Amino acid sequence: KQEVTQIPAALSVPEGENLVLNCSFTDSAIYNLQWFRQDPGKGLTSLLLIQSSQREQTSGRLNASLDKSSGRSTLYIAASQPGDSATYLCAVDAGGTSYGKLTFGQGTILTVHP
């Protein structure tokens, strides 16, 4: 059974810092991995989707990398801003008979203070 772990559980940084959020998964045979953002009381917003054949994806100040063999992904946020404060979740699509079903990590709560 696929398990997804995110470290750290919470992170507080001053504005302007570059930061890295980590995600690990137990079964490396995945189809893709997604990073989501969740604001308090709101739904999830998909930030980046990396296919299993890709090594990284970029969108603005966000860069997500994927190392399937080691079962790891990182989300890099450059020049953090207070508006980046939210919970960040990674989710794995294991493919195969589980194709389309996402297994989520518990999330990293990010606080960026001015």
Partner 1 sequence: DAGVIQSPRHEVTEMGQEVTLRCKPISGHDYLFWYRQTMMRGLELLIYFNNNVPIDDSGMPEDRFSAKMPNASFSTLKIQPSEPRDSAVYFCASTTYRGGRQYFGPGTRLLVL
User: By the 8 A CB rule, do 95 and 31 touch?
Assistant: yes
Q: In the set 34, 57, 65, 80, which binds partner 1 (CB under 8 A)?
A: 34
User: Measured from the CB of residue 11, what is the shortest distance to partner 1 in angstroms?
Assistant: 18
Q: In the set 13, 27, 28, 31, which binds partner 1 (CB under 8 A)?
A: 31
Q: In the set 59, 99, 111, 113, which binds partner 1 (CB under 8 A)?
A: 99
24-60 burial, b if ≥16 CB within 10 A, otherwise e? bbeeeebbbbbbbbeeeeeebeebbbbeeeeeebeee
Judged by CB, which is closer to partner 1: 57, or 65?
57
Reading the block at residue 22, the tokens are 């980590």
Considering the rule CB under 8 A, would residue 49 count as an interface residue with partner 1? yes
Considering the rule CB under 8 A, would residue 100 count as an interface residue with partner 1? yes
- Which residues 6+ apart lie within 8 Å of 109 measured at CB? 9, 10, 11, 87
- Which residues 6+ apart lie within 8 Å of 95 measured at CB? 29, 30, 31, 32, 52
Q: In the set 45, 58, 59, 111, which binds partner 1 (CB under 8 A)?
A: 45
Q: In the set 93, 108, 110, 112, which binds partner 1 (CB under 8 A)?
A: 93
Which residues partner with 21 through β-bridges? 75
User: Would you tell me which residues interact with partner 1 (CB under 8 A)?
Assistant: 31-32, 34, 36, 41-46, 49, 89, 91, 93, 95, 99-107
